[in-house]
Amino acid sequence: MRKFKEFIIEKLVLICGLASIFFVVLIFLFLLKEGLAVFKSVSFFNFLFGKSWYPISEPPQLGILPLIMGSLLVTVGAAIISIPIGVGCAIYIAEVAPLKIKETLKAGIELLAAIPSVVLGFIGMITLVPLVKNIFHLPTGLTALSGAIMLAFMAMPTIVSIAEDALYSVPKNYKEGALALGATHWQVIWRVMLPAASSGILAAVMLGIGRVIGETMAVMMITGNAAVMPGSILVPVRTLTATIAAEMGEAVVGSEHYFALFAIGIVLFVISFAINVTADLFLHKRQ
């Protein structure tokens, strides 16, 4: 009897253990199921590289290049801002900060990670958007730049916490050895710690960028939502995620528009999958 109970429990636990794999596969299958239908009306090439996104014109034009460019522009902008600041902050917390304020700083970073994206979007709309408008004398502050700044903030907690972990797990004798040879603390950080932690820091940056590409609400509220090819960073853009969020409510289930939005979902899923798998490889290389 007891053996039987153990057996049942063991199987139940195994099934739940497999749930994650099951759900990842299920998500992908359902995206494919709804999304692949779009390729009956538009070729794969024209979907990815078509320059016009007019999903409700007749016939609909379903080229997502403007959306990809929008996402790319905002993501690159956010990366340029968040990588130096995020890695710098991680070094400061891991190596320089006095013990007393270390925990406070960490709590501050955790706080930032916990703020819902819609709240950050709201604050960005009220503070950042008018600021960008006034500084650059633009007709509107809802631009790719505003989005990039806001997204940089959302990427930082990820970058800081993972990069800090990477620095922390560098063996102590590396550092002590270099110090004993007469190097300054900064020389040790720059020449010994950073190279030793490089794969972990790379993973941190990649996961931060993954967070930026997938971010939806703040981006939708701040970037102005113009689905046209962006000419500069000071014009409104629309990202892949914002397109889904803004348009799915109006798309009729089973229409080409509906299928196209799911196809965008496939693109996002594939991007995030690639980023996460690669980052995971880097993290395991370190161990």
Partner 1 sequence: MKNSHRSQKIAFFFLFLATLLIVVPVGLIVVVIVEKGLPGINWQFLTDIPRQGMRAGGIFPAIIGTIYLVTGAIIFALPIGLLAAIYLSEYAHDNLLTRMIKLAIVNLAGVPSVVYGLFGLALFVVFFKFGSSILSGSLTLGIMILPVIITTSREALESVPYSFREVSLSLGASKWQTIRHIVLPNAIPGILTGTILGLGRAAGETAPILFTVAAFYLPRLPGSIFDQAMALPYHLYVISTQVPNVDEKIRYGTALVLLALVLFMNLVAIVIRYRFRRKKKW
Residues 198-237 close enough to bind partner 1 by CB under 8 A: 207, 210, 213-217, 221
Contact between 39 and partner 1 by CB under 8 A: the answer reads: no
Phi, psi of 224 (to 5 degrees): 90, -15
Contact between 105 and partner 1 by CB under 8 A: the answer reads: yes
- The stretch among 61-69, 72-80, 105-113, 173-181 that binds partner 1 (CB under 8 A) is 105-113
- The stretch among 23-31, 131-139, 165-173, 228-236 that binds partner 1 (CB under 8 A) is 23-31
Contact between 195 and partner 1 by CB under 8 A: the answer reads: no
The size of the chain, in residues, is 287
CB of 49 to partner 1, least distance (A): 22
Question: How many residues lie near partner 1 (CB under 8 A)?
Answer: 87
Q: Which residues pair with 54 in a beta bridge?
A: 61
Contact between 121 and partner 1 by CB under 8 A: the answer reads: yes
Residue with tokens 């709804």: 34
Q: Which residues pair with 224 in a beta bridge?
A: 237
Contact between 56 and partner 1 by CB under 8 A: the answer reads: no
| Residue 173 burial class via C-beta count within 10 angstroms: exposed 0-12, middle 13-18, buried 19 and up | exposed
- The stretch among 36-44, 59-67, 107-115, 226-234 that binds partner 1 (CB under 8 A) is 107-115
Q: Which of 27, 56, 135, 181 binds partner 1 (CB under 8 A)?
A: 27
Determine contact, residues 60/46, Cβ cutoff 8 Å: no
Upstream peptide bond of 59 is cis (omega within 30 degrees of 0): yes
Residue with tokens 């049942």: 8
Q: Which is nearer to partner 1, 44 or 186 (CB)?
A: 186
Rounded to 10 degrees, the C-alpha dihedral 221/151/242/214 comes to -150
At residue 110's C-alpha, the angle toward residues 104 and 116, to 5°, is 140
Q: Which of 62, 146, 275, 282 binds partner 1 (CB under 8 A)?
A: 275
CB of 163 to partner 1, least distance (A): 12
Q: Which of 37, 68, 76, 85 binds partner 1 (CB under 8 A)?
A: 85
Rg value, the chain, Cα: 23
Q: Which is nearer to partner 1, 141 or 210 (CB)?
A: 210
